Amino acid sequence: MHELLERVTQAGAAARGVLLGERTASGWWEGELSDSALSTAVAVLALGAEGSEAHRGLMASGLRWLARTQLADGGWGDTVRSKANVATTLLAWSAFGMGERSGLFQGMGDPAAVVARAEGWIVKEAGGLEVGALKAALGGGMGRIRRLRCRS
């Protein structure tokens, strides 16, 4: 047991050394995050929930980006590098619903086609657009996440 603890301690020290060595001269890390449908959809919804006319341009821009980055299967993943998932696709779909109610589709091409592809993907993955089907589709994933968190 003592040998295992020593090996884990050494591995931790090595990992810490690598991470600290990757910092810039200013003392922080720099990198590039992938573009994110998840964060874009959440931002559009948050700006829309505020109800201010001041953010309409940002919301429309976010919706245009979501339309351009919709995956071929009709869904969205957390990032442009991710496979589609139910939670992010529902957030993007909701953002388009808010955009439609807010009149943000001017000059956007065919948002109805984007929404129809998303709805097709959701029906395929969740079994329908009804609240019960959507809750079940989301509930399974969230339950697994909660169980993982409890173990850590």
pLDDT in tens, 31-89: 777 889 999 999 999 998 887 788 888 999 999 999 999 999 999 999 988 999 999 99
Provide the domain limits for residue 125.
37-151
Report pTM: 0.71
Please state the domain count of the chain: 1
Radius of gyration of the CA atoms of the chain, in A: 21
Give a yes or no: residue 98 inside a domain.
yes
Q: Residue 126 is encoded by which pair of tokens?
A: 């969740």
User: Is 112 a member of any domain?
Assistant: yes
